[in-house]
Amino acid sequence: MVTRSDLPLRVINSTPEAILKAKKRARRSFRQIRTENVFKRTLSIMGLVIVILVLGILLTLVVQSLPSIKALGFKYLWSKVWDPVQDIYGAWPFLLGTLLSSFLALIISIPFSVAVAIFLGEYHPKGWLPNFLKNTVELIAAVPSVIYGFWGLAVLVPIVRSFESSIGVEPVGVGIFSSSLILAVMIIPYAASLGRSMINLVPSHLKEAAYGLGATRWEVIRSVVLPYTKSGLFAGILLSLGRALGETMAVTMVIGNTSLIPKSIFAPGNTMASVIANEFTEADKPVYLSALIELGLVLFLVTVVINLIGKKIIDRFTNE
Amino acid sequence: MSINQKRYILLNNTIMMQKFFNIKTLVSTSIFAVITAAMVSCGGGGGSTSGADSTASGSSDDNTLIGAGSSFDNPLFSKQFSEYNKANGLKVNYQSVGSGAGISQLTAKTVDFGASDAPMNGKQDSAISAPAIHIPITAGAVVLSYNLPEVKDTLKLTPEVLADIFLGKITKWNDAKIAAENKGVMLPATSIVIAHRSDGSGTSNIFTTYLSKVSEEWSTKVGKGSSVNWPAGLGGKGNEGVAGLIKNTPGTIGYIELAYAVQNQMPYAKLKNKAGNFITPSIASVTAAANIQIPADSKVSLTNTDAADGYPISGFSWVIIYKEQKYNSRSAERATKLLKLISWMIHDGQQFSSALTYAPLSPAAVSAGDAILKSATYDGKPILQ
- Which residue in B has a C-alpha nearest to residue A87's C-alpha? B228
CA distance readout (Å), A21 to A18, A30, B255: 5, 14, 85
DSSP B32-76: HHHHHHHHHHHHHTTT-SGGGTHHHHS-S-TTEEEEEE-SSSHHH
* CA pair distance B254, B245, nearest whole angstrom: 8
Distance from CA of B383 to the nearest CA of A (A): 31
Indicate which of B71, B105, B199, B224 best probes the interface with A, i.e. most A CBs within 10 Å of its own CB: B199
**Spatial contact of A152 and A251, defined as CB atoms under 8 Å apart:** no
**Which residues from chain A sit within 8 angstroms of residue B32, using beta carbons?**
45, 48-49, 52
Contacts of B83 (CB under 8 A, 6+ apart): B349, B352
Contact A284 B226 (CB under 8 A): yes
B55 phi, psi to nearest 5 deg = -55, -55
- Using the Cα atoms of residue B218, residue B219, residue B220 and residue B221 in order, give the sign of their dihedral: positive
Nearest to A292 by CA among A44, A34, A87: A87
Exposure class string for B33-70: b at 16+ Cβ within 10 A, else e: eeebeebbeebeeeeeeeeebeebbeeeeeeebbbbbb
Instruction: Write down the pLDDT at residue B223.
Output: 93
Of the candidates A11, A52, A81, which has its C-beta nearest B229's C-beta? A81
Contact B199 A278 (CB under 8 A): yes
Nearest to B104 by CA among B45, B171, B192: B45
- Which residue in A has a C-alpha nearest to residue B24's C-alpha? A41
Decide if pLDDT at A23 tops 80. yes
Distance from CA of A105 to the nearest CA of B (A): 21
- Which residue in B has a C-alpha nearest to residue A174's C-alpha? B234
C-beta atoms surrounding B265 within 10 Å: 6
The percentage of residues in chain B with a pLDDT greater than 70, rounded to a whole number, is: 84
Contact B29 A48 (CB under 8 A): yes
Q: What is the mean pLDDT of chain A?
A: 89
Contact B101 A274 (CB under 8 A): no
CA distance readout (Å), B322 to A246, B111, B113, B330, B344: 40, 11, 8, 12, 18
Instruction: Write down the pLDDT at residue A281.
Output: 79
Indicate which of A53, A153, A278 best probes the interface with B, i.e. most B CBs within 10 Å of its own CB: A278
**Spatial contact of A101 and A180, defined as CB atoms under 8 Å apart:** yes
**Spatial contact of A182 and A232, defined as CB atoms under 8 Å apart:** no
Instruction: Write down the pLDDT at residue B32.
Output: 47
Segments in chain B forming alpha helices (H): 2-44, 54-57, 74-88, 99-107, 122-127, 159-166, 176-181, 202-214, 216-221, 238-248, 258-263, 283-289, 332-346, 363-374
Distance from CA of B99 to the nearest CA of A (A): 7
Terminal-to-terminal C-alpha distance of chain A: 49
Instruction: Write down the pLDDT at residue B10.
Output: 44
Exposure class string for B145-154: b at 16+ Cβ within 10 A, else e: bbbbeebeee
Half-sphere exposure of B178 (CA within 13 A, CB side): 25
Of the candidates B1, B13, B223, which has its C-beta nearest A33's C-beta? B13
Enclosing H/E stretch for A245: helix A226-246
**Spatial contact of A260 and B196, defined as CB atoms under 8 Å apart:** no
User: Which DSSP state fits B314?
Assistant: E
pTM score, whole prediction: 0.80
Pairing mode of beta strands B270-272, B156-157: parallel
Angle between helices A226-246 and A286-319 (to 10 degrees): 180
C-beta atoms surrounding A126 within 10 Å: 8
Decide if pLDDT at B34 tops 50. no
Decide if pLDDT at A296 tops 50. yes
**Spatial contact of B345 and B318, defined as CB atoms under 8 Å apart:** no
* CA pair distance B63, B61, nearest whole angstrom: 5
Instruction: Write down the pLDDT at residue A1.
Output: 55
Contact A29 B33 (CB under 8 A): no
Nearest to B181 by CA among B91, B270, B59, B274: B270
What are the pLDDT digits (tens) for A50-108? 999 999 999 999 999 999 999 998 899 999 999 998 889 999 999 999 999 999 999 99
- Which residue in B has a C-alpha nearest to residue A26's C-alpha? B6
Distance from CA of A19 to the nearest CA of B (A): 10
Instruction: Write down the pLDDT at residue B310.
Output: 93
Q: Residue B95: pLDDT band by 50, 70, 90 thresholds?
A: very high
User: Which DSSP state fits B354?
Assistant: G
What are the pLDDT digits (tens) for B366-378? 999 999 999 999 9
Q: What is the mean pLDDT of chain B?
A: 84
Q: From the centroid of its chain, how far is CA A13?
A: 63
Edge-to-edge strands, sheet with B278-279: B156-157, B270-272, B278-279
CA distance readout (Å), B286 to A20, B272, B359: 92, 14, 6
Instruction: Write down the pLDDT at residue B367.
Output: 92
Distance from CA of B58 to the nearest CA of A (A): 26
- Which residue in A has a C-alpha nearest to residue B41's C-alpha? A60
Distance from CA of B29 to the nearest CA of A (A): 8
- Which residue in B has a C-alpha nearest to residue A35's C-alpha? B17
What are the pLDDT digits (tens) for B206-257? 999 999 999 999 999 999 988 999 999 999 988 888 998 999 888 999 999 9
Decide if pLDDT at B40 tops 80. no
Residue B370: Cβ-neighbour burial (10 angstroms; 0-12, 13-18, 19+): middle
CA distance readout (Å), A210 to A125, A204, A226: 19, 10, 13
Decide if pLDDT at A250 tops 60. yes
What are the pLDDT digits (tens) for A142-156? 999 999 999 998 899
Decide if pLDDT at B4 tops 60. no
Instruction: Write down the pLDDT at residue A95.
Output: 95
Q: Tell me if ipTM is over 0.90.
A: no
The percentage of residues in chain A with a pLDDT greater than 90, rounded to a whole number, is: 63
B233 phi, psi to nearest 5 deg = 105, 180
Enclosing H/E stretch for B115: strand B113-116
